[in-house]
Structure 1
Amino acid sequence: MKKRSGRWPLYPASYCERTYRQRVCSDGLLSFQVVCQETDLMIQADCLLENQAREQVLVCRGHIEGYIHRYPGFATTLVPWTEQALAPEIVWNMIRAGGAAGVGPMAAVAGAVAETVGRELLKESRQVVVENGGDVFLKIDGPVVAGLFAGNSPLSMKMGIKVPDSRDGIGLCTSSGTVGHSLSTGSADAVCVVSQSCAVADAAATAIGNRVRSLRGIKPAIAFGKQIAGVLGIVVVTGREMGAWGQVELVPLKGKKG
Structure 2
Amino acid sequence: MGSKPAKPSRGRAPLPESYRKRTYRERVHTTGLVAFRVVCEQTDLLIQAERPLADEAREHVLDCRGQIAGYIRRYPEFATTLVPWPNVSPAPLVVRQMIHAGQAAGVGPMAAVAGAIAESVGRGLLEATSRIVVENGGDLFVKSDAPLVAGIFAGASPLSMKMGLKIPDTGDGLGLCTSSGTVGHSLSRGVADAVCVVARSSALADAAATAIGNRIQRPGDIDGAIQSGRGMGDILGIVVVVGRQMGAWGSIELVPLNRKKG
Q: TM-score range by the shorter chain?
A: over 0.9
**CA 1:47–1:251 in structure 2 vs 1: closer, same or farther (change >3 Å)?**
same
SS of residue in 2 equivalent to 1:130: strand
Q: Quote how far apart the aligned CAs of 1:20 are.
A: 1.1
Give the 5 Å matches for 1:72-111: 72-111=76-115
Pair 1:47 & 2:47 matched: no
Q: Quote how far apart the aligned CAs of 1:124 are.
A: 0.4
SS of residue in 2 equivalent to 1:213: coil
Give the equivalent residue in structure 2 for 1:147: 151
SS of residue in 1 equivalent to 2:20: coil
Q: Quote how far apart the aligned CAs of 1:16 are.
A: 3.5
* 1:110-166 deviation per Cα after TM superposition (whole angstroms, max 9, x unaligned): 000000000010000010000000000000100000000000000000000002411
SS of residue in 2 equivalent to 1:142: coil
Q: Quote how far apart the aligned CAs of 1:30 are.
A: 0.3
Distance across 2 between alignment mates of 1:53 and 1:17: 22
Give the equivalent residue in structure 1 for 2:218: 214
Which structure 2 segments of 5+ residues have no match? 8-17
Q: Quote how far apart the aligned CAs of 1:4 are.
A: 4.0
Distance across 2 between alignment mates of 1:105 and 1:256: 39
Distance across 1 between alignment mates of 2:246 and 2:195: 10
Task: Report the AA paired with residue 141 of structure 2.
Answer: F
Pair 1:171 & 2:172 matched: no
- Asked whether the 8 Å contact 1:164–1:247 carries over to 2, the reply is no
> Aligned-pair RMSD on alpha carbons?
1.4
Task: Report the AA paired with residue 228 of structure 1.
Answer: M
Of 101, 109, 129, the residue aligned with 2:133 is: 129
Give the equivalent residue in structure 2 for 1:240: 244
Task: Report the AA paired with residue 122 of structure 1.
Answer: L
Give the TM-score normalised by structure 1.
0.94
Pair 1:201 & 2:200 matched: no
Distance across 1 between alignment mates of 2:27 and 2:66: 30
Distance across 2 between alignment mates of 1:2 and 1:56: 19
Q: Quote how far apart the aligned CAs of 1:3 are.
A: 2.2
Distance across 1 between alignment mates of 2:38 and 2:118: 12
Distance across 1 between alignment mates of 2:260 and 2:240: 19
Pair 1:160 & 2:164 matched: yes
Pair 1:20 & 2:28 matched: no
Which structure 1 segments of 5+ residues have no match? 6-13
Distance across 2 between alignment mates of 1:132 and 1:193: 15
Give the equivalent residue in structure 2 for 1:189: 193
Distance across 2 between alignment mates of 1:109 and 1:130: 14
Give the equivalent residue in structure 1 for 2:4: 2
Question: Which segment drifts farther, 82-91 or 51-60?
Answer: 82-91
Distance across 2 between alignment mates of 1:139 and 1:250: 19
Distance across 2 between alignment mates of 1:44 and 1:245: 28
Identity of aligned residues (%): 65
Give the TM-score normalised by structure 2.
0.92
- Asked whether the 8 Å contact 2:146–2:168 carries over to 1, the reply is no
Distance across 2 between alignment mates of 1:253 and 1:121: 29
